[in-house]
């Protein structure tokens, strides 16, 4: 997810989530932050 050029919506569908909101909720519950926060954080590190 961090290094993919795919949108979070595309990743959600690839992982068989019907809605990105559901994927984000599951991700946040498991990892403690939203997928978009992870992407934004890693963009700053590699910028």
45 compared with 5, residue with greater pLDDT: 5
pTM of the model: 0.73
Looking at residue 34, its pLDDT comes to 92
- Please say if the pLDDT value at position 39 is more than 70: yes
Looking at residue 13, its pLDDT comes to 96
Query: Please, what is the average pLDDT of the chain?
Result: 87
- Tokens matching residue 5: 């050029």
Percent of the chain residues past pLDDT 70, beyond the cut? 87
CA 44 to each of CA 37, 41, 47: distance values in angstroms, whole numbers, following the listed order: 11, 5, 5
């Amino acid at each position: 997810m961090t290094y993919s050029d795919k949108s979070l919506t595309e990743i959600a569908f690839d992982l068989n989530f019907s809605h990105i909101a559901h994927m984000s909720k599951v991700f946040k519950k498991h990892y403690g932050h939203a997928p978009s926060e992870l992407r934004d954080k890693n963009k700053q590190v590699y910028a």
